[in-house]
Structure 1
Amino acid sequence: MILLIVLLIVVAGCAKEDEAKKQESKFHQVKTPKLEPFYSFNVTKLNNQSYISLEELSEKGNIKYQFDEINRVLTLIESQMHYRLVYGVPVYEKNLEYVPTQRNHLSIIENKPYISIAFLDKEIEWVVKPEGKSTVKISMGGKKDEIPVSASPTRPTSVEEIISQLSVLENPISGAKVSTIRSHLPGAPRNYRNGTHEGLDFYQYGTNVAINPNTPVYGMGEGKIIRIDHDYRGYSSIEERNKDLSIASNTEVTPEFILDKLRGKQVWVYYPNGILARFAHLDRVAEDLSVGDNVTNETVIGYVGNSGTSGEVLKNSTEYHLHLDLLIYNELFWEGLGNEEVITILTTVFE
């Protein structure tokens, strides 16, 4: 009898041990991440940066891309993440988020788009390993967890909703009136570059305050700097600028990469409610501010200038003004509105 009891205890113990091993195995199966294969890619070196062809990346990897040759805009789609880069712009879009970065992640080599290995490694977070002098191995999926994409917020469309959204902002120039001169307002035609004026201009003859290189530009509200052009390099000559304008005049709209250069020295600030402000044509930016710094309506982010304009390349005192773009959830706030509605919004918010 005693022997039978001992035998039953041993059998029960073995069964529990087997069940524990099954549970442990099951646990490890759940926790072990799927190993993504490594692919080998050719590397092209340019200005101390390493690049990979988007064509090769698309052929070998689970990634889709679109490249707009006219605007020099690259859109990458990797799993549920959408990345949008503009040539020469030190900010990219990640779904609806603006992310500060380097200017040279996107390169155009023999009229084809190339992406830097640094962007794939640091921004998309793929696993990158050196392989040879002119090749690398990349595992797509790599270091990050899958991030589900939530429903995208939409830009308000009514005057009242837009005013409410922008109410967190104050006037960027102390005491300035909103100019109602048509050419100073968003949506005004810019025939010389085959485009449209995207923001509000603060010139002296429309704002009733002094506008010159000593006029401070304020941060408008509580936000975070995502771009500040300490490394600004403008047009070297009127001929170089005119060449870009000539390209623009032969396209349906001003190419996005050219428009960014025409804005001159800039500061971009991101606010709550999906608001982005682009302060353009600055003479100089605040030396003590950097990307990632927080600002308020009392923070001087820079000073009015004429960078990016003909006045800058001709080295004269013309064209001094602040240009201010306002976007809500990646769209210009005024799109789809009439001129009087735009004036109502701007005067209500800033005056």
Structure 2
Amino acid sequence: MKRPSIYVAAVLLTIILVLLPTSNYAWLGKFDLGSNSSTTKSTESGDSSKKNEGTSIPAVQQMKSLPSKKISGIMYYPLTNLVQSKLVQAKSKEVDGVVELTVNQDFYQLVRNVPVYMRNGIYHPLTGGDMRWEAKDFWLSESFLEGVFQPSSDSSDANSYAQNKEKILKMNADQMAEYLSFVQTPIKGSKMKKSDSSLPGAPRTYRNGIHEGVDFYTPTIGVPVTKNTPVHSLAEGVIVRVDHDYKEMSTPEREKILAEATTNNGQTPQDLLDRVRGRTVWIQHSNGLLARYIHLSQTEPKLRVGDKIKAGDYIGNVGNSGTSDGAKGNNEGIHLHLDLFLYGEWFWKQYPTLEEKYKILFRMFGQYR
């Protein structure tokens, strides 16, 4: 008695399968019919953006489904949602303005309101909008994230980044001096003289921190420097930042920035420290070397982000921008501050003694006695 009803159900199911468009077969995948033919059809047909269970939706598409907003005309996505969606792994410190991302084994570092990012130890211009702090969260631009999720074929490899860092850390002072011997002095005719306060690691009590680079002052390099003194590239490289539109701070503005150190364990937050560096040019050189040329009075007007540059090319003039004297508008304290990174780390970090640092710097720039 039950057989006619079974036949009727079978006929109805057959009619449904024949008449339904293939794009509507996906619901069959929820049932075990003893055959994979229906689920195969659902994969091959319909909207290509919809994937079956076990296949991930492209990261860019997932990102664009998250909440977003326009900031200064640029589309941004909040870091919290990117992490919750498992699109990225991240560490962030709001008070310091720093975010570190890991995506597909690639490591990124960004600093709030700084137009540069580091990827696997190499620095690149952040042309699609700086990382921002809005609504109690870090926000990253759409164009930057698209590059993260769809990296170019010529991008640095995560494995080589780890290998390079390990190699650098194993170098003694002699080996590091040899490794960096390809550079030339940024101020023609200058050499380095022993001056402990100009070395990396020297204390900077006015901001409760330490000196992060090397200073080129008139008394310590053997040649006079003024706001007319040219600064030249250490070596060939690529421009990743050039501050053509820098505006000098007033003394109250600068003092307010430095006061922020009291709320950050005695350290000036990285995004604010970037402002007291004044007018800068950043060049990514070979061997993983990034040089930041700091406190410039002017930059070469023709320089553009992405430009290739040769050793000795003019990039700007010595100055005091970002310093207390720069805020006062005088001609005191004029010098070049030079920061040197190797694959994202301070080159001097592993050399605690003055002798080791001098050995490296004298090999790079020569010794002035």
Compute the TM-score of the two structures, normalised by the length of structure 2: 0.76
Contact 1:281 1:309 in 2 (8 A): yes
Match of 1:184 in 2: 198
Alignment-derived partner of residue 36 in structure 1: 57
1:211-250 map, 5 Å: 211-235=225-249, 237-250=250-263
- Name structure 1 gaps, 5 residues minimum: 1-24, 127-140
Note the alpha carbon deviations across 1:285-329, whole angstroms, 9 max, x for none: 111121222222321111001111111111111121000111112
1:315 and 2:315 correspond: no
Aligned counterpart for 2:179 among listed residues 165, 172, 176: 165
CA distance in 2, matches of 1:224, 1:283: 21
3-state SS of paired residue (1:232): coil
How far did 1:149 drift?
Answer: 3.1
Which residue identity lines up with residue 50 of structure 1 in the other structure?
A: M
1:188-337 equivalences under 5 Å are: 188-235=202-249, 237-252=250-265, 253-337=267-351
Residue of 127, 131, 138 corresponding to 1:102: 127
Counterpart of 1:210 in 2: which secondary structure?
coil
User: Post-superposition shift, 1:218?
Assistant: 0.8
Distance 2:312 2:67 in 1: 50
Distance apart, 1:348 and its partner CA: 1.7
In structure 1, distance between residues paired with 2:289 and 2:155: 26
Q: State the TM-score, normalized to the length of structure 1.
A: 0.80
Question: Hey, what does 1:341 align to over in structure 2?
Answer: 356
Of Structure 1 and Structure 2, which has the larger fraction of its residues in strand? 1
Size of the aligned set, in residue pairs, is 306
- The answer to whether the 8 A contact 1:193-1:249 is kept is no
For the 8 Å contact 1:87–1:104, the answer to whether it is kept is: no
Corresponding letter in the other structure for 1:245: L
Query: Equivalents in 1 of 2:216, 2:202: separation in Å?
Result: 14
**How many percent of aligned residue pairs carry the same amino acid?**
36
Q: In structure 1, how many angstroms separate the alpha carbons of the residues matched to 2:359 and 2:205?
A: 25
In 1, the alpha carbon distance for the partners of 2:188 and 2:132 equals 40
* Cα drift, residue 243 of structure 1: 0.7
Distance in 2, matches of 1:207 and 1:146, equals 38
CA separation of 1:47/1:95 partners in 2, compared to 1, >3 Å: closer, same or farther? same
Matches of 2:283 and 2:86, distance apart in 1: 35
The correspondence for 1:63, drawn from 88, 104, 129, is 88
Map 1:129-140; keep pairs closer than 5 Å: none
Change (3 A) 1:285 1:76: same
Instruction: Please say which of residues 300-309 and 89-98 is displaced more in the overlay.
Output: 89-98
How far does residue 147 in structure 1 lie from its aligned partner after superposition? 8.8
Whether the aligned pair in 2 keeps the contact of 1:179 and 1:202 (CA below 8 Å) is no
Q: CA RMSD in A?
A: 2.7
User: Is it true that 1:73 corresponds to 2:94 in the alignment?
Assistant: no
Q: How far off its partner does 1:65 sit?
A: 1.6
List structure 1 segments (4+ residues) > 4 angstroms apart after TM superposition. Answer: 32-35, 143-148
Q: Report how far residue 105 of structure 1 moved.
A: 2.9
Equivalent AA in structure 1 for residue 200 of structure 2: P
> Match of 2:187, SS?
coil
Contact 2:119 2:156 in 1 (8 A): no
Equivalent position amino acid for 2:256 in 1: K
Structure 2: how far apart are the matches of 1:179 and 1:262?
A: 25
Structure 2, unpaired ranges of 5+: 1-39
- Pair 1:256–1:291, CA change in 2 (3 A): same
Which whole-Å deviations, capped at 9, do the CAs of 1:118-149 have from their partners, x for residues lacking one? 2223x2246xxxxxxxxxxxxxx9x9899963
Structure-2 change in CA distance of 1:147 and 1:228 (3 Å): closer
Match of 2:71 in 1: 46
